[in-house]
Amino acid sequence: MSNYKGKLQQLLYLITCVLLVMAVSIRRDGKVVGRELKQQQEVSSKTDTMVVLDDGTVRLNTTELGKDIIGYAGTVPLEITLKDGKVKNIKALENSETPEFFEEASVLLPKWNGYTIEDAQKMKVDDVSGATFTSNAIIGNVQRGLQYAAKNPVKSSIWSDFDFSVKAIAGLIVVLLASILPLFVKNKRYRISQQILNVIVLGFWCGTFLNYTSIISYMSNGMNVMTLIVPVIMLITAFVYPLFGKKSYYCTHVCPLGSLQELAGKCVGYKVKMKPTTIKRLDMFRQILWAILMLCLWTGVWFDWIDYEPFSAFVFKSASWVVIAIALVFVALSTVVMRPYCRFVCPTGSLFKYSQLSNSKNKK
């Protein structure tokens, strides 16, 4: 029963941390997982030109595309349904055309059914005698809709988003090794090898890591799993693994900066001996710093502090000199103090720590 309560408490802490990040995303960007929460009325009232359904079906609305195409009594908007790159059906939307004229012209609507977008664009469809204006408006709207579809293709496969470059594949392999093998392999040589891979491949080559900037961005904009497969795996190790007893897994086994600090620590035998009271004070400093920085995010007083986390120093070509300097200082310090940034400063690491808290009675 006590273990169950501990897991429930841990889950509540995780949900709380997610809500905290969500609040920051709303405060800064006004959206959550890509959904705008601060839309103006004129934006929200616009008709969606293209809607993609869950089964891949595409529905085009030509209200905006054909607003300058006039039939006999006004515009003639259409809804064009596409499936697997072919025209499935076309139906008329509300219009002001004379019913008799429109009924005659509507015989054109099935003409494009079954054709691919490319072939449908090449078709020569004649207008209907006696309903010339209406039929020409229908043809014009179909052409506009097909042109829009051709310029805005919908990916037909989930794999179309996947990056098959050597760098992306290497990053995926390394993050999978880091997220799986340490669960079963307890070997110092392997650990050093994995840390080297984390630093070189995930850090310097791929520039992939978790920090406040990336986490808030994912919360605001959402994540395409196939495009961001490596960060998704990192998030799982950071937030899901602890629910199954693997606390701080991301920080100790995956994080490139954590790996770099530990490797740097192996280069120097001497280590500064700190008293337990000093360690407690430094840990208290980390907690207070995190609270202050989170308050800055919630109030909007200082969003830019997230740009100074040293993780982005791995992308040194675009990183600022301030960030690179901060990273170098902590890497140098880690030669004599074990993982100083991770233990006593890291705001991102603090977020992970608070998301995996549980009843102290359940801790070993």
Q: Is the pLDDT of residue 40 over 50?
A: no
How far, in Å, are 187, 202, 230 from residue 314 at the CA level?
27, 9, 16
**The tokens of 130 are what?**
């006696």
Spatial contact of 216 and 24, defined as CB atoms under 8 Å apart = yes
Distance CA 45, CA 14 (A): 37
pLDDT at 8: 87
Instruction: Count Cβ atoms within 10 A of the Cβ of residue 340 and give its class: 0-12 exposed, 13-18 middle, 19 or more buried.
Output: buried
**What residues form DSSP beta bridges with 31?**
36
Among residues 128, 129, 126, 141, the alpha carbon closest in space to that of 74 is found at 141
pLDDT at 248: 95
Q: What is the pLDDT of residues 53-87, one digit of tens each?
A: 877 789 999 999 998 898 877 899 999 999 988 99
Among residues 296, 287, 232, 236, the alpha carbon closest in space to that of 23 is found at 296
pTM of the model: 0.72
Among residues 148, 155, 127, 156, the alpha carbon closest in space to that of 80 is found at 148
CA angle 343, 214, 264 (to 5 degrees): 35
Distance CA 197, CA 263 (A): 11
pLDDT at 253: 97
How would you label 112-147 residue by residue, b for 16+ Cβ within 10 Å and e otherwise? beebebeebeeeeeebbeebebbbbbbbbbbbbbbe
Residue 17 — pLDDT band, cuts 50, 70, 90? very high
Pairing of strands 86-92, 78-83: antiparallel
- Other CB atoms within a 10 A radius of the CB of residue 277 amount to 8
Average pLDDT, the chain: 89
Distance CA 204, CA 316 (A): 8
Q: What is the mean pLDDT of residues 191-195?
A: 97
Specify which of 21-30, 61-70, 150-159, 326-335 reaches the highest per-range mean pLDDT: 326-335
Q: What is the mean pLDDT of residues 134-152?
A: 92
Distance CA 356, CA 349 (A): 11
pLDDT at 77: 94
Spatial contact of 38 and 236, defined as CB atoms under 8 Å apart = no
Distance CA 351, CA 335 (A): 25
Among residues 217, 205, 219, the alpha carbon closest in space to that of 175 is found at 205
Residue 159 — pLDDT band, cuts 50, 70, 90? low
Q: What is the pLDDT of residues 320-346, one digit of tens each?
A: 999 999 999 999 999 999 999 999 999
Q: Taking the domain 57-151, which CATH number applies?
A: 3.90.1010.10
CB neighbours of 146 closer than 8 A, spacing ≥ 6? 80, 87, 112, 117, 120, 121
Which residue do the tokens 């009675």 mark? 361
Q: Domain residues of the chain, as ranges?
A: 1-35+160-355, 57-151
Q: Is the pLDDT of residue 6 over 90?
A: no
Distance CA 266, CA 102 (A): 81
